[in-house]
């Protein structure tokens, strides 16, 4: 081995603590990049493959009832590739040994064969034979949740008729990658199922002979989706269509897209933070090494080593750190990605989710890590390259110090000399000091970023489930019923109070933006479903006009007083203009609200309702559910407490796991930054400290100079970390706001305390390391070295 | 400022002092049984080539290092058995050090470099007074980077004497200076020795400097090879090298 390379290895060994710390931070950057990029890649690829091989439709339409012949007209629409009509409807199921009611969605398949569009991926068993009227394919997550297999039976009530269904197969479909009930925001595999059944059997049950109530189609490449949707709407309008929509508004696909966009943000933001910190640490370390090796560099040059060789020598130092970090990052990234695949497999149903570590991803991670490393060391290395040998042989010019403004004040006069040393060192090396403060501040910011979500999530769920939704049960009906149904509900066992609502699918548009959602008509002063303003105060519904969630108003670019165009997607399908009366602040869901009487008037109907909210006696739920399921118009029963626990589980599974990973990494960064700073401060000050020991300073007094400096930097960096962290949290909060939920931007005192505590802990650990070094300080060194 | 009282009882009594270092696989005998005494107010030059053991001896006398065997008695206090805390207190209150490379704190002015010691010692003189004594009364607020090497070494001497030490240890005080500047520094050391009566030990490999000493102790190979008193002690300005 060449002597210069031996020097490199020994240099690395002599800085092993710092090299390890920086490698870990670089590795953390690589790890998060690989983790998120691989996850993103895997989901993207699984989705594309699934959608393509199983002919996931492009456009979907639901109709009350349309004659089969209409589908020919739709096939004629320019750009349409393939059209398939279906019968689809709600079903109630009961599973053996499972008390709770199960809601299902039953979808027709052509007799005895796979559909052309939205084909099923059979996991087990077969498609129902042609002519079979009670064979079904059930969705895999539901089957798994109840341990159902081909051959098992289910009791089902289809349109009021009890039937015993035999499971012929278990499958997943591109239409239900994210399998969620119509009124749910979280999957509940035990209580929601998708079933596929022969079309003939369903035609009979739903009274759809020669007709259909659901249509899906694919587009030719390059077709104008919007135009096709408009024509489909025009054709199906008279048959009670609630409006055709594209993949973008398809529930499962939409959740998938949301997840992907969050992952995309994480893939960029997190690695950028970690690699930024590692570049900063490398910068500090290399600048220090090159400063102390001034004379060695001169010597190498005097011996005839070229500038390029000298530059390369120091670049290799960085390269070795980056390589070590990359190996760690790739290893842990692959491991974590594998672990996360299980998590995703639970929420997204793909035929296979291959978490393959793509060579491209590894190359990207390593390149980005190298880029960051080289960027961090470039300045210091160029300094070494540019040094003229003769100049470098001389000791560096003495450092110049001045008295700062602080010392010229009254405060300055009472300072001890040790404190003066601290202050002057910090102000002499302003750039280095500010970089140190920034570095530690960044790690404090990460700690805050990692911790604030815990509080935020809780706050969000508290608002939703303590302030907004106060009902115990929510019922949805198959179609609107008369308000008199309220009285029927009130007499049911265990029901204390009933409040009703009307819900109508609408398409809201303002200027060029539009959004499909439900418009909910409520009592003027609802007691079970509160409408909150931005201060979380209850507001009453104005007699006229619309209220909408802030997120939706933002999306539409509308503000109070604007006129919103509203297309009613049910019944007469009118389009009307309606003023936006105000905004409501809800963390979960995107809805619009209106006075129920006004909505009934718009719908040109009497006092009709689409569902009800109930306060009930929980001990009598069993009895109550039985009675409710007997009512033909009840399509779904939801338990608020279960919704809450489902969403809490989901958040714990996903968001919080990421946050815990982030916290661990942020903690290690804090330590790496503080420790690195302390080591360098120690190395640079060792002679000065030894001198003071010789002059009669005690260990404690000498330690104060170093530890006081570290302490002051830490002290200054804590509020900076708070400010940066609050900023990051704000941006992240904006970035991960989705239709599904929006975390309120709440940074509580506990997050600030956590951030400060983490930084202080890292400082305390570093202090212990440095104190050990100070104990072994060699005083004789002070006498001899220059 | 009072001259230290002279008496016949020695400030330091050293008996059978040895020091061995283990450097990897080699054992180095830096001191091989040194016996000597230092008396109040005398100016002693410890003369020896590099590696002779003179620095090791001064390090042990100054409480920076401990002996392998033997005894160092400082005014009835046995330093060989002193704890780290006692040695720190000894350095703080009794010994002044002057280093070859000055070892000033670059972030402190001349005055503050002296004050850093006076602030912690029991019976200090004022930093201004100490700096005045070394001829730097007009450079109080200069930082080390604004002073020449000779000036910096004089600040270091002021710093060493400002605590009113009993002993002043100067390790190659002129080693980093040209001869003209070196002589200026030696003049200051002589002045301190005479005016304050501080026992002064100057370590050097420079034979010429030994002419200003009361007593010269020559060390070679870890032993005292020769001790003699200068009958004709000369002033530093008469020296040249």
The per-residue pLDDT for A628 is 85
Q: Closest partner residue to B108 among A420, A779, A783, by Cβ?
A: A420
Label residue A726 by pLDDT band (50, 70, 90).
very high
Q: Are A183 and A636 in contact (CB under 8 A)?
A: yes
In a domain, B30, yes or no: no
Cβ-based contacts of B28 with chain A (< 8 Å) = none
Contact A417 B112 (CB under 8 A): yes
- Interacting residues of A97 by C-beta distance below 8 A, sequence separation 6+: none
Q: What is the DSSP string of A123-176?
A: EEE-PPPTT-SSEEEEEHHHHHHHT--TT-EEEEEETTEEEEEEEEEEEE-GGG
Instruction: Tell me whether B156 touches chain A (CB under 8 Å).
Output: no
> Long-range contacts for A556-561 (Cβ within 8 Å, ≥24 apart)?
A556/A508, A556/A509, A556/A510, A556/A511, A556/A513, A556/A514, A556/A515, A557/A510, A557/A511, A557/A513, A558/A510
Instruction: Tell me the residue range of the domain where B112 lies.
Output: 40-64+90-233
Instruction: Tell me whether B179 touches chain A (CB under 8 Å).
Output: no
Label residue B154 by pLDDT band (50, 70, 90).
very high
Label residue A493 by pLDDT band (50, 70, 90).
very high
The helix/strand/coil state of B30 is strand
Cβ-based contacts of B99 with chain A (< 8 Å) = 691, 694, 782-783
Instruction: Tell me whether B91 touches chain A (CB under 8 Å).
Output: yes
In a domain, B153, yes or no: yes
- pLDDT(A635) > 50: yes
CA angle, A36 as apex, A646 and A25 as ends, to 5°?
115
What percent of chain B is predicted at pLDDT more than 90?
A: 50
Label residue A266 by pLDDT band (50, 70, 90).
confident
Question: How far apart are the C-alpha atoms of A357 and A366, rounded to whole Å?
Answer: 13
Label residue A53 by pLDDT band (50, 70, 90).
very high
Q: Are A203 and A87 in contact (CB under 8 A)?
A: yes
Contact B64 A780 (CB under 8 A): yes
The per-residue pLDDT for B3 is 46
Instruction: Tell me whether B92 touches chain A (CB under 8 Å).
Output: yes
Per-residue pLDDT tens digits for A22-37: 898 899 899 989 988 9
| A477-494 mean pLDDT | 89
Reference A47, options A349, A309, A285, A363; nearest CA is A349
In a domain, B83, yes or no: no
Q: What are the φ/ψ torsions at residue A594 (nearest 5 degrees)?
A: -160, 155
Q: What are the φ/ψ torsions at residue A121 (nearest 5 degrees)?
A: -100, 105
Reference A736, options A663, A644, A659; nearest CA is A659
Q: Are A590 and A517 in contact (CB under 8 A)?
A: yes
Element of type H or E holding A447: helix A430-462
Q: Closest partner residue to A420 among B62, B64, B112, by Cβ?
A: B112
Per-residue pLDDT tens digits for A509-555: 998 888 888 899 998 889 999 998 888 888 888 988 999 998 889 88
Per-residue pLDDT tens digits for B125-139: 999 999 998 999 999
The per-residue pLDDT for B223 is 93
| A678-695 mean pLDDT | 84
The per-residue pLDDT for B2 is 44
Query: How far, CA to CA in Å, does A368 sit from each of A271, A276, A314?
Result: 9, 11, 19
Label residue B170 by pLDDT band (50, 70, 90).
very high
In a domain, B24, yes or no: no
CA A563 to chain centre: 33
The per-residue pLDDT for B85 is 86
Q: How far is A418 from chain B (nearest CA, A)?
A: 7
Question: How far apart are the C-alpha atoms of A588 and A188, rounded to whole Å?
Answer: 17
The per-residue pLDDT for A406 is 66
| B51-71 mean pLDDT | 89
In a domain, B190, yes or no: yes
Contact B85 A780 (CB under 8 A): no
Per-residue pLDDT tens digits for A159-200: 878 889 999 999 999 999 999 887 676 788 988 999 999 999
Cβ-based contacts of B92 with chain A (< 8 Å) = 695-698
Q: How far is A411 from chain B (nearest CA, A)?
A: 16
Q: Are A97 and A80 in contact (CB under 8 A)?
A: no
Say which range, A173-177, A249-253, A413-417, has the weakest mean pLDDT.
A413-417
Q: Look up the CATH number of the domain holding residue B171.
A: 3.40.50.300
What's the number of domains chain B is made of? Answer: 1
Query: How far, CA to CA in Å, does A653 sit from each of A35, A346, A347, A462, A650?
Result: 16, 10, 10, 18, 5
The per-residue pLDDT for A99 is 76
Instruction: Tell me whether A400 touches chain B (CB under 8 Å).
Output: yes
| B151-173 mean pLDDT | 91
- pLDDT(A650) > 80: no
Instruction: Tell me whether A685 touches chain B (CB under 8 Å).
Output: no
* Number of Cβ atoms within 10 Å of the Cβ of A165: 24
The helix/strand/coil state of A342 is helix
Q: Closest partner residue to B120 among A399, A696, A785, by Cβ?
A: A696
Q: Are A740 and A254 in contact (CB under 8 A)?
A: no
Question: How far apart are the C-alpha atoms of A31 and A37, rounded to whole Å?
Answer: 10
Question: How far apart are the C-alpha atoms of A501 and A541, rounded to whole Å?
Answer: 13
| A396-408 mean pLDDT | 69
Cβ-based contacts of B100 with chain A (< 8 Å) = 783-784
Tell me what the pLDDT averaged over chain A comes to: 86
In a domain, B77, yes or no: no
The per-residue pLDDT for B1 is 43
Per-residue pLDDT tens digits for B207-228: 999 999 999 999 999 999 999 9
Q: What are the φ/ψ torsions at residue A105 (nearest 5 degrees)?
A: -125, 125
Instruction: Tell me whether A424 touches chain B (CB under 8 Å).
Output: yes
The per-residue pLDDT for A688 is 86
Q: Are A385 and A310 in contact (CB under 8 A)?
A: yes
| A757-774 mean pLDDT | 86
What ipTM does the predicted assembly reach?
A: 0.82
Say which range, A113-117, A204-208, A401-405, B191-195, has the weakest mean pLDDT.
A401-405
What percent of chain A is predicted at pLDDT more than 70?
A: 96
The per-residue pLDDT for B7 is 58
């Amino acid at each position: 081995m060449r002597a210069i390379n031996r020097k490199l290895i020994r240099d690395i060994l002599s800085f092993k603590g710092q090299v390890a710390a920086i490698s870990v931070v670089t590795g953390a950057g690589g790890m998060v990049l690989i983790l998120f990029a691989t996850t993103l890649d895997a989901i993207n690829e699984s989705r594309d493959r699934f959608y393509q091989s199983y002919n996931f439709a492009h456009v979907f339409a639901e109709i009350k009832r349309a004659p089969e012949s209409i589908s020919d007209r739709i096939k004629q629409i320019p750009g349409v590739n393939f059209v398939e009509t279906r019968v689809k409807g709600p079903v109630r199921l009961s599973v053996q040994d499972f008390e709770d009611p199960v809601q299902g969605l039953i979808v027709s398949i052509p007799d005895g064969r796979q559909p052309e569009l939205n084909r099923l991926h059979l996991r087990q068993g077969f498609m129902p034979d042609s002519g079979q009227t009670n064979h079904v394919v059930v969705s895999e997550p539901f089957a798994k949740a109840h341990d159902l297999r081909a051959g098992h039976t289910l009791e089902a009530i289809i349109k009021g008729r009890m039937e015993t269904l035999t499971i012929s197969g278990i499958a997943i479909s591109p239409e239900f990658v994210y399998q969620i009930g119509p009124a749910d925001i979280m999957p509940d595999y035990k209580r929601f199922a998708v079933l596929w059944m022969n079309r003939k059997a369903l035609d009979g049950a739903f009274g759809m002979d020669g007709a259909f109530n659901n249509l899906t189609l694919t587009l030719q490449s390059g077709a104008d989706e919007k135009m096709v949707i408009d024509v489909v709407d025009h054709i199906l309008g008279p048959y009670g269509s609630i409006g055709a929509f594209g993949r973008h508004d398809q529930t499962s696909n939409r959740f998938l897209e949301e997840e992907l966009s969050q992952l995309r943000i994480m893939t960029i933001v997190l690695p950028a933070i970690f690699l930024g910190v590692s570049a900063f640490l490398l910068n500090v370390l290399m600048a220090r090494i090159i400063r102390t090796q001034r004379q060695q560099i001169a010597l190498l040059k005097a011996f005839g080593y070229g500038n390029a060789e000298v530059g390369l020598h120091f670049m290799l130092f960085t390269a070795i750190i980056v390589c070590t970090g990359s190996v760690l990052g790739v290893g842990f990234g692959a491991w974590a990605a594998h672990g996360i695949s299980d998590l995703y497999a639970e929420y997204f149903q793909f035929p296979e989710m291959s978490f393959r570590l793509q060579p491209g991803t590894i190359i990207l991670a390593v390149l980005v890590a190298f880029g960051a490393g080289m960027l961090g060391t470039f300045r210091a290395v160029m300094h070494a390259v540019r040094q003229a040998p003769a100049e470098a042989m001389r000791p560096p010019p003495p450092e110049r110090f001045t008295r700062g403004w602080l010392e010229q004040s009254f405060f300055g006069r009472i300072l001890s000399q040790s404190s003066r040393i601290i202050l002057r060192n910090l102000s002499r090396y302003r750039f280095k000091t500010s970089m140190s403060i920034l570095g530690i501040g960044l790690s404090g910011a990460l700690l805050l970023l990692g911790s604030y979500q815990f509080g935020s999530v809780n706050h969000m769920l508290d608002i939703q489930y303590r302030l907004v939704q106060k009902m115990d049960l929510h019922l949805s009906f198959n179609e609107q019923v008369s308000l008199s149904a309220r009285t029927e509900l009130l007499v049911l066992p265990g029901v204390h109070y009933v409040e009703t609502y009307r819900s109508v699918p609408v398409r809201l548009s303002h200027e060029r933006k539009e959004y499909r959602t439900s418009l909910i008509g409520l009592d003027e002063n609802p007691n079970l479903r509160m409408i909150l303003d931005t201060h979380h105060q209850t507001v009453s519904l104005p007699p006229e006009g619309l209220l909408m969630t802030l997120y939706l108003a933002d999306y539409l670019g509308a503000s109070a007083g604007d006129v919103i165009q509203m297309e009613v997607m049910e019944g007469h399908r009118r389009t009307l203009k309606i003023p936006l009366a105000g905004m409501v602040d809800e963390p979960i869901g995107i809805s619009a609200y209106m006075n129920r009487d006004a909505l009934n008037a718009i719908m040109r109907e009497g006092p009709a309702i689409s569902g009800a909210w109930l306060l009930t006696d929980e001990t009598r739920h069993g009895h109550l559910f039985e009675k409710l399921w007997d009512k033909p118009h009840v399509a779904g029963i939801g338990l608020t407490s279960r919704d809450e626990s489902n969403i809490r589980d989901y958040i714990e599974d996903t968001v919080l796991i990421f946050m815990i990973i982030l916290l661990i990494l942020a903690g290690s960064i804090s330590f790496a930054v503080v420790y690195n700073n302390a080591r360098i401060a120690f190395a640079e000050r060792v002679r000065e400290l030894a001198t003071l020991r010789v002059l009669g300073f005690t260990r404690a007094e000498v330690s104060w100079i170093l530890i006081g400096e570290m302490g002051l930097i830490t002290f200054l960096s804590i509020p900076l970390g708070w400010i940066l962290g609050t900023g990051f949290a704000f941006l992240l909060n904006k970035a991960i706001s989705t239709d599904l939920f929006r975390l309120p931007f709440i940074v509580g005192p506990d997050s600030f305390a956590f951030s400060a505590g983490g930084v202080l802990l890292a400082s305390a650990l570093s202090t212990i390391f440095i104190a050990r070094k100070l104990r072994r300080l060699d005083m004789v060194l002070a006498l001899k070295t220059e | 400022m009072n001259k230290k009282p002279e008496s016949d009882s020695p400030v330091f009594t050293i008996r059978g002092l040895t020091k061995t270092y283990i450097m990897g696989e080699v054992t180095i005998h830096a001191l091989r049984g040194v016996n000597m005494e230092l008396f109040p107010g005398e100016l002693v030059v410890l003369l020896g080539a590099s590696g002779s053991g003179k620095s090791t001896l001064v390090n042990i006398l100054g409480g920076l290092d401990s002996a392998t065997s033997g005894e160092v008695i400082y005014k009835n206090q046995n330093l060989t058995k002193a704890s780290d805390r006692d040695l720190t207190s000894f350095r703080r209150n009794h010994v002044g050090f002057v280093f070859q490379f000055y070892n000033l704190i670059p972030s402190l002015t001349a005055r503050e470099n002296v004050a850093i010691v006076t602030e912690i010692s029991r019976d200090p003189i004022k930093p201004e007074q100490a700096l005045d004594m070394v001829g730097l009364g007009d450079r109080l607020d200069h930082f080390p980077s604004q002073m020449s090497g000779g000036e910096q070494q004089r600040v270091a001497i002021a710093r060493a004497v400002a605590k009113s030490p009993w002993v002043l240890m100067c390790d190659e005080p002129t080693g980093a200076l040209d001869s003209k500047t070196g002589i200026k520094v030696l003049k200051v050391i002589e002045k301190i020795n005479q005016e304050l009566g501080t026992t002064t030990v100057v370590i050097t490999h420079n034979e010429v400097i030994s002419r200003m000493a009361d007593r010269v102790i020559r060390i070679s190979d870890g032993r005292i090879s020769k001790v003699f008193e200068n009958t004709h002690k000369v002033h530093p300005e008469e020296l040249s090298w």
